[in-house]
Amino acid sequence: MTASADFIAPPADQPLLRSVLRGALRVLFRGLVRPPLPVPFQRAVIRALTAATLPVAGVSREAGHLGGRPCEWHRPSQPSGSVLLYLHGGAYVAGSPATHRAICAHLAARTQASVCALDYRLSPESRYPAAREDAIAAYQALLAAGYPAQRIAFVGDSAGGNLSLITSLRLRHLGLPQPGALVCFSPVTDFTGSQLHSPAGGDPLIHPNWVTQAIGLYCPADVARDDPGLSPQFDDLTGLAPLLLQVGEDEILLNDSLRFAAAAQAAGVEVQLERYPGLWHVFQAHAGLLHVADFALARVALFLKARGF
């Protein structure tokens, strides 16, 4: 699969640390977060793997509610007046604001925007479109609180990247303004799974069987997998907000970002695509540990600053 890229990151440093992390993820995440292990166990594993989060200087955290759902706010000491609505990954079956505290806190520090991590409903308890309804309600609550649309960005990883895109596209049908920007880390854009990538070194994080399980739990039986509401790859992307896509090259979802970037560019959307050789799915979660993760989030800050954030 090929697509033009605005930016290809230089080779990452810290080879020993990257090797250790890759091996640990292969055993502890890919090896455990998949069937036949039940979803509650998978959630517990992800909580355990993300439990140790170091505080980030100059950023405070507080619990809250937004649009009828729990959330966590990460606030810099001198907030810019912009807000990032963070939609976490976890295949729509796992994850929470608590599992993504590191990336949210580092985003707040890098961008000086307040970051709100939304605890949207998960499947199988609440299937599509429950998560999208929660994200729309949260966005409406931010607008009602006085945040201008152009100072709100949707940021999401993996399934949260999918949620960022389908929520933004749904806003058109509801007559609501687009957010000022979209930032997606390795989003799912095609739930048919027909063009998954096979990295030479293997994907150390995502087991294909987990993807299959998650799709079955999240997608209603009467909704086609290529329905634009599920798979933004097949929607009309005209009018979508300026978009930054970051994706690792050693992950099965590489082609989702490449194909979506090409489709968005063809629709006239302002798109910045960034590829990171030798990196895995949502490597940005290692901010504060991996230099390349810090570098990627610095690129996010530059992207948002150029758009008035």
Q: What is the 3-state secondary structure (H, E, C) of the chain?
A: CCCCCCEECCCCCCHHHHHHHHHHHHHHHHCCCCCCCCHHHHHHHHHHHCCCCCCCCCEEEEEEEECCEEEEEEEECCCCCCEEEEECCCCCCCCCHHHHHHHHHHHHHHHCCEEEEECCCCCCCCCCCHHHHHHHHHHHHHHHCCCCHHHEEEEEECHHHHHHHHHHHHHHHHCCCCCCEEEEECCCCCCCCCCCCCCCCCCCCCCHHHHHHHHHHHCCCCCCCCCCCCCHHHCCCCCCCCEEEEEECCCCCHHHHHHHHHHHHHCCCCEEEEEECCCCCCHHHHCCCCHHHHHHHHHHHHHHHCCCC
Cα(22)–Cα(30) distance, rounded to whole angstroms?
A: 10
Amino acid at the residue 56? V
158 belongs to the catalytic site:
yes
Question: Rounded to the nearest 5°, which phi and psi values hold at 101?
Answer: -65, -35
Question: Is residue 281 annotated as a catalytic residue, yes or no?
Answer: yes
Active site residue 251: yes
Which residue among the candidates 72, 106, 133, 251 is catalytic per the annotation? 251
Distance in angstroms (rounded) separating the CA atoms of residues 219 and 127: 7
Residue among 74, 207, 281, 286 flagged as catalytic: 281
The residue annotated as part of the active site, out of 96, 123, 158, 186, is 158
Give catalytic residue positions. Answer: 158, 251, 281
